[in-house]
Amino acid sequence: MLRRICTLAAVAAATALATPAMAQTSGGTMNVVIQPEPPGLMLGITQNGPTQMVAGNIYESLLRYDTELNPMPSLAESWEVNEDGTVYTFKLKDGVTWHDGEPFSAADVVFSADVFLRETHPRLRVSLQHVETIEALDDRTVQFTLKQPFGPFLGIFEVGTMPMVPKHIYEGTDFKNNPMNATPIGTGPFKFAEWEKGSYIRLVKNEDYHVEGQPYLDEIYWHVIPDAASRSVAYETGKVDVLPGGSVENFDVQRLVDLENSCVTGKGWEYFAPHAWLWVNNREGPMADKRFRQAIMYALDREFAKEVIWNGLGQVPTGPVSSKTRFYTDDVRQYPHDPEKAKELLAEMGYDGTPIRLLPLPYGETWQRWAEAVRQNLQEAGIAVEMVATDVAGWNQKLAEWDYDLAFTYLYQYGDPALGVARTYLSSNIAKGSQWNNVEGYVNEEVDRLFNEAAVAFPDSARQELYTEVQQILVEEVPVAWLLEIEFPTIHRCDVKDLVDTAIGVNDGFRNAWLDR
Amino acid sequence: MATTTASEKPQRSARAQAFADFCKRFARNKGAVVGLVILLAVVLLALIAPLLYPASPWQMVQRPFLPPMATEGFWFGTDTLGRDIGAGLAYGARISLIVGIVSTVVALTIGVTIGALAGYYGGYLDDALMRFTEFFQTIPNFALAIVLVAIFQPSTTSVIIAIGIVSWPPVARLVRGEFLSLRSREFVQASIVLGQSNGHIITRQILPNTLSPVIVMASLMIAQAILLESSLSFLGLGDPNTMSWGYMIGAARTVIRQAWWMSFFPGVAILLTVLALNLVGEGLNDALNPRLARKGR
């Protein structure tokens, strides 16, 4: 018997269509800032932030996700999973065409996932290791057969993780050097028009888009403005309508939001759920003592950092899993701001005042101020802290070589602990030379076991149980000091409607966005 | 004062008389006196900083972005994190003066040594040392300082060393010039005839006679060093653990339109200190080189 998730999705889609908040008007040009200028727009090959922000309009994947991370139809109109969670069957939407007029079919899906992205997309490649075969049953049906259940599987069909690329253009070519990479062809709501390097990228409406009547906008200009202050000015003078998250300094946000006809939202980061923490080098010095790490948690005034440095956006995390990510639990030890408690713990372990080094993240003013506030918090609890000045290259190197005591970072969670959380705590993931793995050197066999079992457990209730347990252990042991669930503010004119309505926000393309002018 | 000691110790009396003359000539330059007063005020501020502000200047004491004069006790307002700008100014004075003075001492040590050797011995040694000096002079000061600090990791020590290294060439050239002209004077010839060693002649006979222009230059170099330190800190290349004026301006730059006071007060502090040092330098010049000064009037 097959579990039918598709009915639910269909109902959700129907209600969404049945209750339009306002009558959308078509037409108009949207001006958006893109920072920094992307290296390329072929999303299958380049997956960094700015590329996806622009190319999310050009390419699509099988699914989209609402802000609760529930899958919604995109190129797939329905999907089924067998009852032991190993066979996923997707029914593709009818009448979808590529921007060059060729029809989109199941063969494109198989080519994209099994051939193209396996070669070019390191993050997806890891998830696809759980997949035995990808087959096209007919022109509109694709079946993924897994080696064993893989909990996060339905979460890997986001456009940046699995963008559909045209088989008729790429089959048999050298993917990375295909000249068509300069003029990307997708199925998305907007088509690539021109790219004036160093100045702007222009996308135009896809008249043959597979959703009737959409998109509403005629064209989108992505402006390349290298200086943060100039980006603020461009918004103030009305040159641009949208400042995506991270394109202006946090300290400028309030001033820009206070302008007339200016709105801000922290939504649209639920899928990535950027989670900021302090790496704590568990290997050496006082940091090897659990009580010292707990003392750090008590010493930090995380509420202050959220309110003052991040303008109140975001949320103070309870542990390793973001509250926006699946299988989150708040049933863990709590660490309120309590310097006295921190001092007690330090006295109990006999901390001798050994100075420890703090490595800020060299990503601009916000992070520098944050590091200063953290240093002050720790000093007030009696921990001697010295800040180390560094640049991006130095930061990367020091972390990769484990040459640090405390260091700032933030990482994406991709909706599921198996994709974005486990990598930081698994002892099998300790390896010099990378700053994205278990950099803190935390080793706990029980945690390893729980994470590994939870990744392949089925159904979700079994996974929740395992993840709850692992979160409780980790929060007790504090392998790293969690600081903030970051929300990057998207600032936009209030008459830009329906800009952010999915879990990846501006990165998901502007297919629903319209201008109320 | 001079009269009482005159009969007993004639030599001291001559010195005291010289000092009184010096003071008189210095005082004649009103600007220099104003400069000296400002400078003493800054030094005093640096000395009593811990008494005025017992808490660390990094401590977040009030709500952020508090305008100046808005709250009792926070005359200069607070910054992005709610730290007291006043405390920052007081503690910033310390680091500015320390860096200014110590790096000038470093630069003088290098510059005077090289200049003296080149000027006294002449010949190939002079050529070699002067080419070496020119090599440093051709590299823009600030660019070299940035490179040095970046290589050595920003800290107070590395900033001092970097500023010292980039500021010595003018000293070397000045001292060399003085040595060249003094070397052929009779008192030096006499010393050689008396059989004094080269080291003795350099340090005891010639060097004291070159000091007046060096002192004038040193006072201007301190001002220069304070500016350099502020510029480095502004760019984020200062010691991240020390509150300095340049850092305060750098951190305030992004919010200058919301909070003018955050960059204004440290800016004024730098302006006043550097101006004071320049005025004092000019006064010293008048006092130490009376003939030159009178020509100017």
- From chain A, which residues contact B within 8 Å (Cβ)? 228-229, 249, 251-252, 254-255, 304, 308-309, 360, 365, 368-369, 372-373, 375-376, 379-380, 386-389, 391
What separation in angstroms does the CA of B82 have from each of A297, A378, B62, B69? 22, 17, 5, 14
C-alpha B53/C-alpha A176 separation (Å) is 61
Q: Domain range for residue A328?
A: 275-486
Q: Which long-range contacts (CB under 8 A, 24 or more apart) does A314-317 make?
A: A314/A266, A314/A484, A314/A485, A314/A486, A314/A487, A315/A484, A315/A485, A315/A487, A316/A484, A316/A485, A317/A275, A317/A277, A317/A482, A317/A483, A317/A484, A317/A485
Amino acid sitting at position A242 = V
Whether B130 shows a pLDDT value over 60: the answer reads yes
CB < 8 Å to A308, chain B = 64, 80-82
The answer for residues whose C-beta is within 8 angstroms of residue B48's C-beta and 6 or more apart is B90
pLDDT of residue A88: 93
A497 and A459 share one domain: no
The answer for residues whose C-beta is within 8 angstroms of residue A68's C-beta and 6 or more apart is A270, A503
pLDDT of residue A229: 82
Whether B10 shows a pLDDT value over 90: the answer reads no
Considering the domain boundaries, does residue B23 fall inside one?
Answer: no
For residue B291, what pLDDT band results from cuts at 50, 70 and 90? low
Is residue A241 packed enough to be buried (19+ CB in 10 Å), middle (13-18) or exposed (0-12)?
Answer: buried
Considering the domain boundaries, does residue A65 fall inside one?
Answer: yes
Considering the domain boundaries, does residue B69 fall inside one?
Answer: no
Beta-carbon separation of B251 and A368 below 8 A: yes
Beta-carbon separation of B82 and A308 below 8 A: yes
A302 and A441 share one domain: yes
CB < 8 Å to B258, chain A = 251, 254-255
Q: Which of A322, A353, A335 is nearest to A467 (CA)?
A: A322
A385 and A498 share one domain: no
Considering the domain boundaries, does residue B11 fall inside one?
Answer: no
Q: Which residue of A has its CA nearest to B61?
A: A376
CATH of the domain at A53: 3.90.76.10
Considering the domain boundaries, does residue A314 fall inside one?
Answer: yes
> Per the structure, how many domains does chain A have?
2
The answer for residues whose C-beta is within 8 angstroms of residue B188's C-beta and 6 or more apart is B182, B201, B205, B206
Q: Which residue of A has its CA nearest to B239?
A: A389
Considering the domain boundaries, does residue A267 fall inside one?
Answer: no
CB < 8 Å to A249, chain B = 254
Beta-carbon separation of B56 and A379 below 8 A: yes
Beta-carbon separation of A252 and B80 below 8 A: no
A287 and A147 share one domain: no
A378 and A455 share one domain: yes
A351 and A498 share one domain: no
pLDDT of residue B15: 85
| φ, ψ for residue A356, nearest 5 deg | -120, 155
| φ, ψ for residue A499, nearest 5 deg | -75, -45
For residue B278, what pLDDT band results from cuts at 50, 70 and 90? very high
Q: Report the pLDDT averaged over residues B145-162.
A: 93
pLDDT of residue B274: 96
Considering the domain boundaries, does residue A249 fall inside one?
Answer: no
Whether B3 shows a pLDDT value over 70: the answer reads no
pLDDT of residue B138: 92
Within 10 angstroms of residue B123's Cβ, the number of other Cβ atoms is 8
C-alpha A208/C-alpha A193 separation (Å) is 15
Interchain contact B157–A (C-beta under 8 A): no
Considering the domain boundaries, does residue B95 fall inside one?
Answer: yes
pLDDT of residue B11: 64
From the list B80, B240, B257, the residue facing A387 with the nearest CB is: B240
pLDDT of residue A246: 81
pLDDT digits (tens, 9 = 90+) for B185-232: 999 999 999 999 999 999 999 999 998 899 999 999 999 999 999 999
Considering the domain boundaries, does residue A246 fall inside one?
Answer: no
Considering the domain boundaries, does residue B3 fall inside one?
Answer: no
A364 and A446 share one domain: yes
Whether B170 shows a pLDDT value over 90: the answer reads yes
CATH of the domain at B33: 1.10.3720.10
A439 and A497 share one domain: no
pLDDT digits (tens, 9 = 90+) for B26-62: 898 899 999 999 999 999 999 999 999 998 999 988 8
B88 CA to chain A: closest CA distance, Å?
A: 14
CB < 8 Å to B60, chain A = 304, 373, 376
A49 and A111 share one domain: yes
CB < 8 Å to B56, chain A = 376, 379
Residue B6 has what DSSP assignment? H
C-alpha B278/C-alpha A338 separation (Å) is 50
List alpha helices for chain B, DSSP H: 2-6, 10-28, 30-52, 85-121, 123-138, 141-152, 156-167, 169-183, 186-194, 198-200, 207-234, 245-252, 260-288, 290-296
Beta-carbon separation of A252 and B254 below 8 A: yes
A122 and A32 share one domain: yes
Helices B207-234 & B156-167 angle (0-180, nearest 10): 130
From the list A252, A308, A360, the residue facing B81 with the nearest CB is: A308
The complex scores an ipTM of 0.84
CB < 8 Å to B240, chain A = 360, 387-389
Considering the domain boundaries, does residue A262 fall inside one?
Answer: no
Considering the domain boundaries, does residue B14 fall inside one?
Answer: no
Beta-carbon separation of A389 and B258 below 8 A: no
Is residue A46 packed enough to be buried (19+ CB in 10 Å), middle (13-18) or exposed (0-12)?
Answer: middle
Considering the domain boundaries, does residue B158 fall inside one?
Answer: yes
B111 CA to chain A: closest CA distance, Å?
A: 30
The mean predicted confidence, pLDDT, of chain B is 90
Considering the domain boundaries, does residue A493 fall inside one?
Answer: yes
A510 and A431 share one domain: no
CB < 8 Å to A304, chain B = 60
Considering the domain boundaries, does residue B73 fall inside one?
Answer: no
A444 and A501 share one domain: no
Q: Which residue of B has its CA nearest to A306?
A: B81
C-alpha A387/C-alpha A378 separation (Å) is 12
CB < 8 Å to A387, chain B = 240-241
Q: Report the pLDDT averaged over residues B167-175.
A: 95
pLDDT of residue A54: 92
Q: Domain range for residue B138?
A: 29-64+79-290
B219 CA to chain A: closest CA distance, Å?
A: 31
> Per the structure, how many domains does chain B have?
1
pLDDT string in tens for chain A (517-residue length)? 344 444 444 444 444 444 444 578 888 899 999 988 888 899 988 877 888 899 999 999 999 999 888 999 999 999 999 988 899 999 999 989 999 999 999 999 999 999 999 888 878 888 888 899 999 999 899 999 999 888 889 989 999 899 999 999 998 888 888 888 899 999 999 999 999 998 999 999 999 999 888 899 999 999 999 888 889 999 999 999 999 988 888 878 888 999 989 999 888 899 999 999 999 999 988 999 999 999 999 999 999 999 988 888 899 999 999 999 999 999 999 999 999 999 999 999 999 999 999 999 888 788 999 999 999 999 999 999 999 988 888 888 899 899 999 999 999 999 899 988 998 999 988 888 877 889 999 999 999 999 999 988 888 899 999 999 999 999 999 999 999 999 889 999 999 989 898 988 888 889 899 988 7
- CA atoms A357, A358, A362, A368: torsion sign: negative
pLDDT of residue A48: 78
pLDDT of residue A363: 80
Q: Which of A460, A410, A366 is nearest to A273 (CA)?
A: A410
Considering the domain boundaries, does residue A240 fall inside one?
Answer: no
Interchain contact B82–A (C-beta under 8 A): yes
Q: How many CB pairs under 8 A join A and B?
A: 52
Q: Which residue of B has its CA nearest to A229?
A: B254
pLDDT of residue A45: 86
